[in-house]
Structure 1
Amino acid sequence: MSLLGGIRPPIAVLSALLLALAGLTAVGLGGSQESVPKAVFTSQQHFAEDGAIALRASLDESVTDFQRAAALASAGPPADADHVLDTLGNVYEKWRGTAVVDIASGKLRAARGESLPLAAIDRTKLADDGGLAPRMVRLRNGETRLLSLALLSWEGRPQQLLVGSSSLKVPGISLGAFRSIAVVDTKGTVLSSDGIPEPEQVLTDLQRKEAGRSRRQLSAFARDAAVKAAQHPAKAKELGSGGFPGVSGSLTGEAHAGERAVAGYATLATTDPKEHSTATGLGLTVVAMVPVTEEPGGTADSLFGLLAAAALLLIGALTVGLLLGTVQRPLLQLFLESRRLSRGDLARPVRVPRHGEAARIGRALESLRGQLLGERPEHASFASGPPDAVHRHRPAAGPRRIPGLRLLGKTGTRGLLAVCACLLLAWSAPLGFLLNRTDGTVTVPQQLVNDQRERTDTLADRVRRALNEGHTDLTSVASLLGADTTAGQAQTLLHRTLYEHHRYRSLYVVDANGGVLSRVGEDPRATDGAGRDRQLAVVNDHGKEPVIVGAASVPGRKGATVVGEFRIDFLNALLKRPGLGQIRLVDADHRVIGGNTGYRAFQDLPAERLDRLVTAVNLKAGSAKRAGGILSRTGEGAKVAAAAPFTGGGVAEPLGWTVVSWQSATHLDTPESIREHRSLLAGLLGLTAAAACLGWLHIVVVRPLRELAGQAETLAAGDRRTVLYPRHHDEVGAVSRSLELIRQRLPARSAPAGRPAPTSDPRN
């Protein structure tokens, strides 16, 4: 018999699949519910990823701006160290300390801000490869700084070393009331932390104990995260998870007073793994920790899973028993009877099955047995009922049949398969599409609403900082375009800025009348003077995309302005963060400026509740503005939404923009949603197993059996010319071969009148 053919393999596979599905149903839809929902762990992982992205972008931007400022200073006329540091401090306010050191003598020329550990710099190795690479150093007070190095060189003067120190604290992260965040090195040492009060900031013994417990838990998380961060990103993720390009995950800690510490961790990684980044080479990991209230006594209804599995076992047993009793057993009986007749054993009557195509073939075999014994063939149709000879030789009736199966005896094999399909459908369809539906009643933990608000606030700060950085770059360029700068020098400076920063679509210098003096990139769209009186503005209110421009006046050249047009794709890329759903950047009139999914520029928000939320978070003025989050339940189900206005200063804050995010609660990994998804999966698996196995059975057995029944009846009616070819090497094929052997043994005189009987088999 063929390995994949025959009657046994489809039924055996169906039995195994139903048994496995019953086990998965009992385990997946039952068991104990976790005290902390999976969605909370996923949210903390995304929170740590946000921190890692913000820190990586901040460090890379700081190093790039530092080296670029040194290169621009070296390209100009010679300047003393104090002037270089003053210019650097006026344009950028991101370094905690800066200094200029004479490389040959080691003499400190000038310094600003905090004292730098200059002794940690080996001046003799600066010319080597990587000698100017940024490095981490630990200060005397235990804090860690990132030192950036760059050369200042002018013709006729000795080279000098420009040094700047940056903090390793995660910038712009909204921690909320109880969250803490830390930066960890490869050994699990906490380099910096935020969110845990220092000893001098607490007032009571209880607060000191809580702070000490938080520090110990954060240190434990830091060690675990350092071990997990050493994995390769491809091996650390689940298959198909995608998303964050680095190593990230979640951790669970000890429980105390009804709360359990939960943390997320993420390594510093670029969006493209092939890109080199200074920050990614430092081996840093961001760990975010928050205490989450446990849900004791919340156990899932394991009885439902057991009942569903038991129902599947019962229906599966009934289905398999029906297939065994009405399809497999009659076919195997036909196989044995046909082989007996083909071997010449004609003494005993054929045991004719009771229904379907098997009964038709059995009646034909009994007629052929009589013809081999010398009886005349019956030319009537064998499909209408058994001939008289069959009744005369029918063996005694066996055990009494179940009354409910009499109806099945009147239907064909296809009808039996349809009955089996309906039985399996009766279990799969309700479980997959009717039971365990949330329908907006999903319970959303408050921690998820808080995380939605805080992550949206972090995202708003990230966009604001990006716009501020863009304007700072324009200010830096404008400060270097003096009155004696030629058009070629300005063109080179603009080209270098456009190449180093991908946030601009075009850069150009215009005079007081709007004439373009120098430009790089795409064609300017704001040469009519719109937006030049403001540092950052949107100069259109219609069209396919907003035109966002930044402007900085050129000192010493009256009316000259450096204008940079921001790419809208740059802002949209900043808004693409997993776990926040749909995100929109709206202006002061609540019109959409950018988003992470498809949108139309300057369209309104899709729901009135989002408009009200944006209005609410912008009611207060200045630094009093705060992000807000809500959980709303409407006819479309439960939704989590948050809005965060631009706060924190800079030229971007006066724009009055707000970041809005919302997502359906059914997309969160809450216990109700997980049960709904697992029920749907179980139902779909049941439908798939039924369709695959019953379809397999229909193609391999039922369809050839129906065709063979007609051929057997034609042969019994007197057709001796039609050769019977087996399609498959299985039970049906074996019956076909036996019928062919019987045809060859039948006397030629039994052929119908007017048709000469063949003298031999054409295959012989």
Structure 2
Amino acid sequence: MSLIGGIRPPIAVLSVLLLALAGVTALTLGRVGQEAVPKAVKSSQQHFAEDGAIALRASIDESVTDLTRTADLFNASDPVPADAVLDKISSVYQKWMGTAVMEVRSGKLLAARGENVPLAAIDRAKLSDDDGLAPRMVRLESGETRLLSFAVLAWKGQPQQLLVASSSLRFPGISLGNFRSIAVVGDDGKVLSTDGIPEPEQVSTDEERAEVKASEKQLQSFAETAAKKSRSHPILAKEPGSGGYLGVSGHLVGDRHLGERSIAGYASLAAPEAGESTVATRLGLSVVSMVPVAEDAKRTKGSALGLFAAGALLVIGGLTVFLLLRTVQRPIVRLFLESRRLTRGDLGRPVSVPKHGEAARIGGALERLRRQLNGEPAAKATPAKRKGLGSRTLLAVAGVLLLVWSAPLLLLINRAGDTVQVPQQMVNDQRERTDTLSDRVRRALNEGHADLTSLASLIGARTDPSDMDKVLESTRNQHSRYRSLYVLDKDGKVLSKSGDDPRSPSGEKPSDTAVRVIDDDGKEPVIIGTAEVPGRQGAAVVGEFRIEFLNSLLKRPGLGEVRVVDAKRRVLGGNDGYREFQGLPSGRLNGLVEGTGQKVGGKPRPSGVLYRDGGDIQIAAAAPFAGGGAAEQLGWSVVSWQPASNLEIPEYTLQNRTVLAGMLGITAAAACLGWLHIIVVRPLRKLADQAEALADGDRKTVLYPVHHDEVGAVTRSLELIRQQLPSGTQRKRDGASAGLAGRN
């Protein structure tokens, strides 16, 4: 018999699939909602930690790049005093806690700004090594950690000088909201810096001090676990094909205190491209974000739905399999045995004829053929054709039985309506993450303008276009944010450029606006930063930002649709498909952005909203640019929204799993019953017609089996019987011979 043919394999596979589906249904549907903290909240904390890791990595890499590039620009010009170097840096960048210049050979301090830089921690003998200028972390006596970045100032004929910048490991522009804390963790599990946990002197009561102490203890426990998990390879730390964040990330569940459970997310610093490393990623740092979440005691109760659905499937599936065994498989197997008996010459016992369908027709034909083999004429052995349910009808009945179980799961049961409980923490996280994203976009534009200002001040009175070209080209290669860089004179003439052709209006004088958007009627926004060149009589350095760079900042898992809009609420960028300068998709999003732009307490504030429209539930948030810098004057905002059905909330999870169970049931029924129809029923119907034709006297048609199975075996037996029956010519010849013998 064929492995894929025959009556037995499809029914056996259907039985196995229904048993497996019953087990899966009992396990999956019965466990939904038993967690006191929804998985969506846990995943959100993981995404929050990933946002912090991305921001910290970008800040460290940007800081090192800016320091190195600034030193290179100074090295390309005439020598200047150490104080002038630090004054120039301080006027452009405000990111470092302290800066200093020292002689490499003697270690003499030449100039310093800001807080004292721990120069004693620098081993000048190792500066010539390959990684001698790599940033390093230093622990201060106060317990704080500083990151030291280095660059060499080298002018011909002068001793080498070391430019040192000290920065803290605090997060730039992370919006924590209420009760959240975030920490930078070293590879040894020690907390290097924290935000969100009050200092002991900031609390007044013993109860508050106890809560602060408990938070610090829980955060340290999370930090040790996160550091251990972050040592694994990112590919091995994730499920295959999960994608997402390129580093190691996840969530942790902590202790319960006063009805709240501490939930943490962790993420290691990862490069923006897979398989690469940066200055920041080589430091071995991780980020841990922790927030207390109220538990729902009702969620811990199990559901009997899974057991009930599994039991119903066992009953209906058992009835279906019994129907197929009794009405389809058994008659065909009986025909197979009876046909084999006739071919062996056992013609004394009548054929056991099934009661209905094609099997009854074939059985009746076999009985008539048995009589014909015994010498009876074909005309005398022709009974009335039996009637009854055919095999196709029986398969349809089996399909309806399985559909009775699958259809309600697919269409009716466990529908998540307008009563879905969306945790308030999800709304808060949407707001805070959107605010963090808004700050990151603003800082990126501010950093771009700071680069242009630094570039303009160092170009100064350079008159040779080739020197300008080298400086512009070097800056553009170090930063991916620029589409092109060029220098305009006071009349708008391009003196030097690097990258693509300028898109600013030809002949237009340099703008006094630091960052602006031009060509708002074009196919994409043209975002331009301008910085005046001192000593050049109105000349300016202009940088055109790549819109792809802006869009790349907005790609964050778990936020849904993200858009950057201008003051007129027109879309400038997004994290997926969008059209430039189009409006937001709904009036309520317009109202949300407009409301966040209004100043409350002296500055605009982000907001998060839960919209309910029947069963359509949506989480939305908007955050305007706030915090100063050249980009704040743009009046832009970042807005994000996503349907609540995208989140792993118990009601939606139960609905999705219920629908999946129904789909699996329909798929199993369609596959196995379709298999039966193609392999068994269709050949069986054809064989019934051929068997009746053979019994009616058709001796010329050769019968060929379609498959090597029970139906094929019956077909071969009928062919052997056909060969044993006398043909019409032979009957005439035998009749004529009998007549001549009678005359004689």
Name the TM-score class by shorter chain. Answer: over 0.9
The secondary structure found in structure 1 opposite 2:487 is: strand
Structure 1 position 347, deviation (Å) = 1.3
Give RMSD over aligned pairs.
1.8
Other-structure match for 2:13? 13
Q: CA deviation at 1:675?
A: 0.4
Q: Tell me which residue corresponds to 2:700.
A: 721
CA–CA distance in 1 between the matches of 2:583 and 2:491? Answer: 36
**Alignment correspondent of 1:468:** 446
Q: CA deviation at 1:306?
A: 2.1
In structure 1, the residue matched to 2:459 is 481
Q: Which amino acid aligns with 2:661?
A: A
Per the alignment, residue 24 of structure 2 pairs with 24
In structure 1, distance between residues paired with 2:509 and 2:642: 37
Rate the CA distance shift 1:263–1:738 in 2: closer, same or farther, 3 A.
same
1:353-381 CA distance string (max 9 Å, x none): 11111111101110111111111124998
CA deviation after TM superposition for structure 1 residue 240, in Å: 2.8
Other structure's SS at 1:538 match: strand
Which SS does the other structure have where 1:722 is aligned?
Answer: coil
Match in the other structure for 1:334: 335
Residue matched to 1:633? 612
Change (3 A) 1:379 1:191: farther
Contact in 2 for aligned 1:542/1:601 (Cα 8 Å):
no
Match of 1:390 in 2: none
C-alpha distance in 2 between matches for 1:621 and 1:471: 28
What SS is found at the alignment partner of 2:116?
Answer: coil
C-alpha contact (below 8 Å) 2:368/2:382 kept by paired residues: no
Percent identity (aligned): 64
Paired position in structure 1 for 2:203:
202
Aligned partner of 1:548 in structure 2 is 527
Contact 1:532 1:551 (8 Å CA) reproduced:
yes
Q: Structure 2 vs 1, CA of residues 175 and 286 (structure 1 numbering), >3 Å: closer, same or farther?
A: same
How big is the shift at 1:21? 0.8
1:234 aligned counterpart, secondary structure: coil
Equivalent position of 1:149 in the other structure? 150
Q: Select between 68-77 and 2-11 the one with higher mean Cα deviation.
A: 2-11
CA contact (8 A) 1:583 1:595 kept: yes
Of residues 448-457 and 373-382 in structure 1, the stretch that sits farther from structure 2 once superposed is 373-382
Counterpart contact for 2:11–2:324, Cα < 8 Å: yes
SS at match of 2:378: coil
- After TM superposition, the structure 1 = structure 2 runs for residues 26-41 of structure 1, keeping only pairs within 5 Å, are 26-31=26-31, 33-41=34-42
In the alignment, what sits opposite 1:561?
A: 540
Describe the shift of the 1:752–1:212 C-alpha distance in structure 2 as closer, same or farther (beyond 3 A): farther
Question: Residues 358, 668 of structure 1: CA spacing in aligned structure 2 closer, same or farther, 3 A cutoff?
Answer: same
The structure-2 alpha-carbon separation of the partners of 1:556 and 1:723, relative to structure 1 and needing over 3 Å to count, comes to same
* 2:102 paired residue number: 101
Deviation at 1:416, TM superposition (A): 1.1
The letter for the 2-side match of 1:234 is I
Residue 692 (structure 1) aligned to one of 643, 655, 671: 671
Which moved further from structure 2: 669-678 or 276-285? Answer: 276-285
Instruction: Output the CA distance in 2 between the equivalents of 1:636 and 1:85.
Output: 60
Q: Does 1:452 align with 2:430?
A: yes
SS at match of 1:374: coil
- 3-state SS, counterpart of residue 599 of structure 2: coil
Q: Say which is worse superposed, 641-650 or 112-121, in terms of deviation.
A: 112-121
Query: How far is the alpha carbon of 1:490 from its aligned partner?
Result: 0.7
Give 2:178's aligned residue. Answer: 177
Mean alpha-carbon deviation: is it higher for 246-255 or for 312-321? Answer: 312-321
Matches within 5 A, 1:201-600: 201-299=202-300, 302-378=303-379, 385-386=385-386, 410-528=388-506, 529=508, 532-600=511-579
Report the equivalent of 1:762: none
Mean CA deviation greater in 475-484 or 328-337: 475-484
What SS does the corresponding residue of 2:351 show, helix, strand or coil? coil
Secondary structure at 2:146's aligned position in 1? Answer: strand
**Segment drifting more, 36-45 vs 508-517:** 508-517
DSSP 3-state at the match of 1:186: coil
CA contact (8 A) 1:35 1:294 kept: yes
Q: CA deviation at 1:720?
A: 2.2
Indicate how the Cα distance of structure 1 residues 36 and 636 shifts in structure 2: closer, same or farther if over 3 A, else same: closer
Alpha-carbon spacing, 1:752–1:474, altered in 2? closer, same or farther (3 Å) = farther
Q: Distance in 2 between matches of 1:274 and 1:617?
A: 40
- Structure 1 residues 293 and 510: alpha-carbon distance in aligned structure 2, compared to 1, 3 A threshold: same
Secondary structure in structure 2 of the residue aligned to 1:151: strand
* Comparing 300-309 and 332-341, the one that deviates more: 300-309
**2:470 is aligned with what amino acid?**
T
> Quick one: distance in 2 between partners of 1:563 and 1:663?
37
Q: Which residue of 1 aligns with 2:194?
A: 193
Query: Are the structure 2 counterparts of residues 376 and 548 from structure 1 closer, same or farther at C-alpha, using a change threshold of 3 Å?
Result: same
Q: Which residue number corresponds to residue 120 of structure 1?
A: 121
Distance apart, 1:159 and its partner CA? 0.9
Query: For 1:21 and 1:365, how far apart are their aligned partners in 2?
Result: 41
Residue by residue over 1:431-478, the C-alpha shift from the partner in whole angstroms, topping out at 9 and shown as x without a partner, is 012221113432101000000000000000000000000000100110
**Aligned mates of 1:602, 1:351 — CA distance in 2:** 80
Corresponding letter in the other structure for 2:48: F
Displacement of 1:134 in angstroms is 1.2
Report the AA paired with residue 577 of structure 1.
Answer: R
Q: Does the 8 Å CA contact 1:49/1:266 hold for their aligned counterparts? A: yes
- Worse-superposed segment, 463-472 or 700-709: 700-709
The answer to whether residue 664 in structure 2 is matched with residue 668 in structure 1 is no
Aligned match for 1:654, one of 633, 651, 668: 633
Which amino acid is 1:314 matched to?
Answer: V
CA distance in 2, matches of 1:613, 1:531: 35
> Corresponding residue for 1:758?
none
Q: Please say if residues 715 and 743 of structure 1, whose CA atoms lie closer than 8 Å, have aligned partners that are also in contact.
A: yes
SS at match of 1:313: helix
Q: Compute the TM-score of the two structures, normalised by the length of structure 2.
A: 0.96
Q: Which moved more, 1:93-102 or 1:46-55?
A: 93-102
- 2:416–2:615 Cα contact (<8 Å) kept: no
Q: Distance in 2 between matches of 1:617 and 1:611?
A: 10
Distance 1:205 1:301, change over 3 A: closer
1:459-514 per-residue CA deviation (whole Å, 9 max, x = no partner) reads 00000000000000100110012223311111111111111111111111111111
Contact 1:536-1:549 within 8 A present in 2 as well: yes
Distance 1:292 1:715 in 2: 79
Give the 3-state SS of the residue equivalent to 1:297 in structure 2: helix
Shift of 1:651: 0.5
Question: Cα gap change, 1:637/1:300 in structure 2, threshold over 3 Å: closer, same or farther?
Answer: farther
5+ residue gaps, structure 1: 387-408, 755-764
Q: Which residue of 1 aligns with 2:739?
A: none
Matched to 1:500, the amino acid is Q
In the alignment, does 2:63 pair up with 1:84? no
Give, in whole Å, the separation in 1 of the partners of 2:600 and 2:557: 30
CA distance in 2, matches of 1:752, 1:515: 112
1:301 & 1:544 partners in 2: Cα distance?
Answer: 55
Deviations 1:521-572 (A, max 9, x none): 1121113437712001112332211111110000001110111111111111
- Residue correspondences, number: 732
Query: What residue number does 2:163 align with?
Result: 162
> Structure 1's 612 and 513: CA in aligned 2 closer, same or farther, altered over 3 A?
same
Q: Is the 8 A contact 1:515 1:527 kept in 2?
A: no
Q: What is the CA deviation profile of residues 125-149 of structure 1, one whole-angstrom value per residue up to 9, with x for unaligned ones?
A: 2222111111122111111121111
Structure 1 counterpart SS, 2:516: strand
Tell me, yes or no, if the aligned pair for 1:441 and 1:637 is still in contact at 8 Å.
no
**Offset, 1:726:** 2.1
Are the aligned partners of 1:640 and 1:665 in contact in 2 as well (CA < 8 Å)? yes
Q: 1: CA distance between counterparts of 2:157 and 2:345?
A: 116
Pick closer, same or farther for the CA change 1:206–1:717 going to 2, 3 Å: same
Equivalence for 1:759? none
Q: Which amino acid aligns with 2:412?
A: L
In the alignment, the residues of structure 1 paired with residue 254 and residue 181 of structure 2 have an alpha-carbon distance, to the nearest angstrom, of: 14
Q: How far is the alpha carbon of 1:750 from its aligned partner?
A: 8.0
